[in-house]
Structure 1
Amino acid sequence: MQAGLSVPFEIAVPQAKLDRIMQRVRSYEWFDAPAGGSDVGVPPGYMRDLCEYWTHTYDWREHEHELNRYPQFRVEIGGDRIHYIHERGSGRKPSPLILLHGWPVTHAAFARMVEQLAHPERFGGDPDDGFDVVVPSMPGFGFSDRLSRPLGPRATADRLDLLMTEVLGYEDYVIHGGDWGGLVAEWMGLRHGRHVTGIHLNLAFYRHDGAAFGSGQTGPGPATPAELAWAESERAAFEREFAYFRLQADDPLTVSYAIMDSPVGQAAWMVDKLLLWADRRDRDLKDLFNMDTALTEVMIYLVTGTFYTAATIYRAISQEGPITFDPGQRIEVPVGFAAFPDPHCPPPPREFVEKSRTVVQWTDMPRGGHFPSLEEPALLLEDLRQFGRTLRRR
């Protein structure tokens, strides 16, 4: 697999495309829906408020300008063109750090953290805590080109390792990943461990043999009461909330015909996940994310037309092979785990994670759900900085 030359890139969505999207939102034919909570989907009142804000207040150009603050590039790797931010950090020897997003978010989920990670001295911190920050749009997502065939986490890991080593010239690097980004990060550590100095995660998807995600199993050998209780809670969450996963794995094209045709429908499909997977304890729906944050994520999928190719990662994972490590296989590079109280993917106990990973840092977070870079960026930011310090001391 070969990598090409990087080309500078700037986001510049044609006005005609923005106008078409807004016209479709304004002309959406609302239907009568029963009042109620989010147990049957996004509440109608929330969706109407979101679309009202979308058409009267939200300004894509403002967010486009903000995303263009950082140096951006696109490069062809293995026949797929990948978009990425590359912000060189402060300090005497900043470690390279790649931030990997998942679905239904984009690289924009990390945008507010880039400057703080690269230049901590601008915010009263130590410049030696700075990283060289790389934020790709995952292949097939956002401003990376639409894929010609599905890519799973293992194939994606190979491409992003080439991005960091052959394209950017780093001998080694640190990874942070959540959601799909966490799966890719784990395979980068397994397949390219000689380049990876550490992996920081807020999701542990792959596990030792016999402990598949959502199975309710803990694998061979004895399990602690905490492991057994957690495995059951994950199994229940999997049964309750993963219908979307099965749909996008089995029929990604069929569902895309409908979702990509309707900006309001696509917003509802995505926002449903943002709200449902958030830490909703003691917080109202409207307080989980500001509407600008949610709409920018939606808009990136809309203006790039990448909903379908992003969704195909759900099919590709089943085509790549087992979703557990081989017997005896483990991630040997140092791992930091930020255990946010995620209702969608409840964090395992430390003793369970340590069966397949070399955990050197563990943080039980007081709040925050599945997408901490959007919900609790300050907590995630400090944990990443601490992980960098932990790695430097080793």
Structure 2
Amino acid sequence: MTGASGDVVPFRVGIPETVAADVRDRLRRTRWPEPETVGDWSQGTRLPYIRELCRYWLEEYDWQAAEARLNRFPQFITEIDGLPIHFVHVRSPHPDAVPLLLTHGWPSSVAEFHKVIAPLADPVAFGGSADDAFHVVCPSLPGFGFSGKPSRTGWGAERIADAWDQLMSRLGHPRYGAQGGDWGARITMTLGRRHPDNVIGIHLNMVPFPEPESTDDLTEKERSALDALARHRAQGSAYAAVMATRPQSIGYGLTDSPAALAAWIIDKFEAWSDCDGDPGTVFTNDELLDNILLYWVPATGASAARIYWESFATATSDEGPVPVPTGCSVFPADIYRPSRRLAQPQFPGLRYWNELDKGGHFAALEQPAAFISEVRTAFRLFH
């Protein structure tokens, strides 16, 4: 996949028919559990929903069309710190465009950004201004998608941030902006802390925040945000506990069973999106399955889970204020929904803040127009 260290090699997704046939065979032979004993998603992914999605995957999903969608933008592989890194790189036709690094999280992939890459890179073609143009870089996290799988420990948020900084320099972007949600948000914040001279500014669509020591003067909205976070930790964070402590154990099922992988991932697309209990109101089956494919085809069930083990099990210096210019967009169905006041202490360079009325954790996929507008508005204030 790569030549000498430092080379940037073109890459295309290729899915052999044998892979598609194997998935169909496994789906036909799925041994399903009994239905949940509740009428909602509180016990996890609902049986009727996942059976229908897997039926679609088996009977209607067009693998050749999926391969074409995954190849819609130029992709490359380069080796950084001994690991092959896969990334999408779309250079804007506008030479003064700002280099922009977009980082996904779990259970997402570079496919989350497919609706926003072209408008960000060529705003004029979509009715916008050349002043808002970006050279867009979307890497796959180590152990995710078609990036390499680390064979040794140490690939936590700090090492990934350092690798991303090397990647941008190698591509001829020594000064760049960074954007992210989920793990992408934490890695983007870490970039701002560790490489402030290289980072023009950051934009986050998930905003982690330090919880206040006293709750005496909180507004009703702030109390509601803290209550939602507490509910998430009590009732919705088992996935993180499992992957932070036993990524290898859960990895066997995620690598062997397409139904198990789909159910594990779709649980979060329901819980964290603005879908009111039905992911089908926000995402198409093809969008969901294209993302799942980037876990299934390269067999990353265990390797992707390890980002939790790496980042939760060891103490790091990935804390403290982020000194670079910052913009934050808070979507109403996301896990973290702080007020500006609660988030401000860790962003001394906070220049843009907005709380939207639609959307959730997967903002670029759920609300692409709003996501594009938020990124553009924030970066106009950075330069």
TM-score (norm 1): 0.90
User: Which residue identity does 2:286 align to in structure 1?
Assistant: D
**Map of 2:340 onto structure 1:** 350
1:37-88 CA deviation, whole Å, 9 max, x = no partner?
Answer: 2121222211121111111211122122122122111001001110001111
Q: Secondary structure at the match of 2:325?
A: strand
1:280 aligns with 2:275: yes
**Residue from 252, 258, 265 that aligns with 2:260:** 265
**Map of 2:161 onto structure 1:** 157
Report the CA distance shift for 1:4/1:184 in structure 2 as closer, same or farther (over 3 A): same
**Residue from 344, 360, 374 that aligns with 1:383:** 374
1:14 CA displacement: 1.9
1:319 CA displacement: 4.0
1:128 CA displacement: 2.4
1:84-138 CA deviation, whole Å, 9 max, x = no partner?
Answer: 0111113340000010000011111112211111011111111221100001111
Deviates more, 1:331-340 or 1:10-19: 10-19
User: Which residue identity does 2:240 align to in structure 1?
Assistant: F
**Residue from 251, 275, 279 that aligns with 2:246:** 251
- Distance in 1 separating the partners of 2:215 and 2:357: 31
**Residue from 114, 123, 128 that aligns with 1:125:** 128
Alignment of 1:1-394 (within 5 A): 4-34=6-36, 36-150=39-153, 151-165=155-169, 167-205=170-208, 207=209, 211=210, 217-219=211-213, 224-225=218-219, 227-281=222-276, 284-322=278-316, 325=319, 329-343=320-334, 345-357=335-347, 358-392=349-383
Number of aligned residue pairs: 376
- Distance in 1 separating the partners of 2:66 and 2:223: 45
1:257 CA displacement: 1.3
- Distance in 2 separating the partners of 1:59 and 1:123: 28
- Distance in 1 separating the partners of 2:66 and 2:132: 27
- Distance in 1 separating the partners of 2:372 and 2:362: 13
Q: Secondary structure at the match of 1:305?
A: coil
Please say if residues 60 and 296 of structure 1, whose CA atoms lie closer than 8 Å, have aligned partners that are also in contact.
no
User: Which residue identity does 1:379 align to in structure 2?
Assistant: A
1:219 CA displacement: 4.2
1:221 CA displacement: 10
- Distance in 1 separating the partners of 2:130 and 2:87: 23
Q: Secondary structure at the match of 2:352?
A: strand
Q: Secondary structure at the match of 1:352?
A: helix
User: Which residue identity does 2:380 align to in structure 1?
Assistant: R
1:233 CA displacement: 3.1
Q: Secondary structure at the match of 1:112?
A: coil
User: Which residue identity does 1:309 align to in structure 2?
Assistant: S
Please say if residues 218 and 231 of structure 1, whose CA atoms lie closer than 8 Å, have aligned partners that are also in contact.
no
Q: Could you say what the CA RMSD is over the residues aligned between the two structures, in angstroms?
A: 2.0
Ranges in structure 1 where 5+ consecutive residues have no aligned partner:
212-216
TM-score (norm 2): 0.93
Ranges in structure 2 where 5+ consecutive residues have no aligned partner:
none
Identity of aligned residues (%): 35
- Distance in 2 separating the partners of 1:104 and 1:49: 20
Report the CA distance shift for 1:25/1:218 in structure 2 as closer, same or farther (over 3 A): same
Please say if residues 207 and 330 of structure 2, whose CA atoms lie closer than 8 Å, have aligned partners that are also in contact.
no
User: Which residue identity does 1:101 align to in structure 2?
Assistant: H
